[in-house]
Amino acid sequence: MNVMKKCLVAICLLAVCALPVTAATVVIQDYEAGGAPFDLDPNFSGSTSGILPSSAIALVADGVGGSTQASELTLNDDPASAGGWITRFVANGAGHFVVGVPTTGYIGFRAKLDQAYAGLGLEVGFAVDDPGTADIGIPKTVIADGQWRLYQWNLADDSDWTTFDAYYGSSGLGNGTIDGATVELDSIAIRTAVDGDAVLLIDDIVYDPAGRIIPEPTTGLLLMAAMGMALVRRNRA
């Protein structure tokens, strides 16, 4: 095999290795069958504040990666409450997803927010029950571009975590570190510091024990791989 062919084969192998790795991912909720967990009204939790009772959840035909459904959270700002709002989108009526997951790897979800809501500076965080208390992932700003984006937190990295109080006020919960061998999934926090409505789509809530999910390969990389394979086949002809 000459140098050119070796280079082309290397490009092809690189493209294959860049494909998403999902075998180790545990899907907690993908909304394909509906139901719990993470299916309750945005106002279900008493920790939610600043949104109207008209706020709601619905299943919509707009899932991640060609899946059929996602949850759509319509979050209507309460004009009587100035200075933004926060929603505690709980896992279920018991307040948490009772199946524990190890405190290694990542937990997260995908979310979609239209550009019309860019001015809200919407933030999300994932809360866990870390035995006897509760901690929550540091806030991540939701990208308002109408695309599905991944938001996840490393359970083994203390810099990814803060206290429950940092979001919801003085409850005495959390120390900003994950201490237990396992955690239970409590809720997803959705918040903004300014007044305004939002419609946020959430899907593909996952625990990834193998580490950060590898992004999809770029179009350019796949194109190079395809060209490489074509050239190899032509040279063999």
> Tens of pLDDT along the chain (237 residues)?
454 434 333 333 333 333 344 436 788 999 999 888 999 999 999 999 999 999 999 999 999 987 899 999 999 999 999 999 999 999 986 555 556 788 999 999 999 999 999 999 999 999 999 877 889 999 999 999 999 999 999 999 999 999 999 999 877 788 889 998 999 999 999 999 999 999 999 999 999 987 655 444 333 333 333 334 333 343 444
For the chain, where do the domains classified as CATH 2.60.120.260 start and end?
A: 23-214
Q: pLDDT at position 33, please?
A: 92
Sign of torsion over alpha carbons 57, 62, 68, 70: negative
Give buried/exposed letters for 100-119 (b at 16+ CB in 10 A, else e).
Answer: bbebebbbbbbbbbeeebee
Q: pLDDT at position 11, please?
A: 35
**CATH class entry, domain 23-214:** mainly beta
Nearest 10 degrees: Cα torsion 220, 209, 97, 148: -10
| CA–CA gap between residue 87 and residue 125 (Å, rounded) | 11
Q: pLDDT at position 14, please?
A: 35
